[in-house]
Amino acid sequence: MKYSGWPDKGELVVGKVDDIADFGVFIDLEEYEDKRGLAHISEVASGWIKNVRDHVREGQTVVAKVLDVNESSQQIDLSIKDVNEHQRKEKIQEWKNEQKADKWMSLAFGEDVSDEQYSAVANAVLAEFDSLYDGFEQAAIHGAAALEDVDLDEEEVEAFVETARENVSVPYVNVTGYVDLRCPVGDGVEHIREALKAAGGNGDVPEGIELEVTYVGSPEYRIKVRAPDYKTAESELETAAGRARSVIESHGGTATYHRERHEDDE
């Protein structure tokens, strides 16, 4: 998807070098319809430049910073030298992600999707997420729940989620914790089993989360959580341990949660 408007001053943009002159470089903006900018020779690279072609080539994809925009004269002033390597890589990745999201929109709503429907869906998603890609990623992780506040009808949500789950490679993190369970009273073994089932969510785990509880060596049990991000993973890990503690303490037992294995268990 290309934007029909103008970039903002200070924005980083992706462009393709269209023409090279002695005084600078003309760049077609990849993210904006029919927009072209100029990076003056002094903004191509730091230091004295003898030949612009020593620094850029025609057809090269570059990331530039918008120095100024004059809509009346249709002029966009750009700087290539003001973009550091970290910014360049981050912006290129963001641009590639949005290209993927653009293709996914066609997969979700058809190659012949009208401009009106495309814009309506895209604007609805962008009203709630930082980008279309972010919307697809969250839909892949959380399903329809991620789109609860997005102004889409049921069929559009279903198509969006289905496409997301078929195409988005969701980043996941894994965290591990341990809980020591002791219950020397009554049917202690049964109470520990009950606590372990509770730690595992009794089969009811939030969508997008994987939770596994395994035996390490009495009285220690391992809890592994796989989640989309560390904050969620850590929260689910502590919640699982808390469920086990609640059950075992209700039967007169004790529970101790820790992140590392005990040295004598190695």
Residues whose CB falls within 8 Å of the CB of residue 9, separated by 6 or more in sequence, listed in order: 66, 67, 68, 69
CATH classification of the domain holding 59: 2.40.50.140
pLDDT of residue 95: 95
Q: Which domain holds residue 41?
A: 12-83
| 60 and 102, same domain (yes or no) | no
pLDDT of residue 266: 41
Question: Residues 182-240: pLDDT tens digits?
Answer: 998 878 889 999 999 999 988 788 878 899 999 898 899 999 999 888 888 889 999 99
pLDDT of residue 265: 42
Question: Residues 105-123: pLDDT tens digits?
Answer: 999 999 888 889 999 999 9
pLDDT confidence band for 145 (50 / 70 / 90): confident
- Give me the percent of the chain exceeding a pLDDT of 70: 97
Q: Cβ(223)–Cβ(241) under 8 Å?
A: yes
Measured in whole angstroms, the distance separating CA 10 from the mean position of its chain's CA atoms is 24
| 55 and 103, same domain (yes or no) | no
Domain end: 31, 66, 83, which one? 83
- Would residue 2 count as lying in a domain? no
| Peptide bond connecting 219 to the previous residue in cis, omega within 30 degrees of 0 | yes
DSSP designation for 32: B
Which of 20-29, 49-58, 137-146 is predicted least confidently?
137-146
* 161/190 Cα distance (integer angstroms): 41
* 216/50 Cα distance (integer angstroms): 68
pLDDT of residue 261: 57
Residues whose CB falls within 8 Å of the CB of residue 176, separated by 6 or more in sequence, listed in order: 222, 223, 224, 225, 237, 259
pLDDT confidence band for 1 (50 / 70 / 90): low
pLDDT mean across residues, the chain: 91
* 124/140 Cα distance (integer angstroms): 17
| 181 and 261, same domain (yes or no) | yes
- Would residue 4 count as lying in a domain? no
Within 42-187, where are the H helices?
85-109, 115-126, 132-142, 154-167
Residues whose CB falls within 8 Å of the CB of residue 224, separated by 6 or more in sequence, listed in order: 174, 175, 176, 210, 211, 212, 213, 214
Domain end: 167, 183, 212, which one? 167
pLDDT confidence band for 264 (50 / 70 / 90): very low
**Statement: residue 127 has pLDDT above 80:** yes
pLDDT of residue 203: 75
DSSP designation for 3: B
DSSP designation for 246: H
* 162/167 Cα distance (integer angstroms): 9
DSSP designation for 202: G
| 186 and 260, same domain (yes or no) | yes
Domains identified in the chain, total number:
3
| 124 and 208, same domain (yes or no) | no
The overall pTM is greater than 0.85: no
**Angle in degrees, 0-180, between the axes of helices 115-126 and 154-167, rounded to the nearest 10:** 80
CATH classification of the domain holding 198: 3.30.70.1130
| 66 and 108, same domain (yes or no) | no
Residue at token pair 């729940």: 145
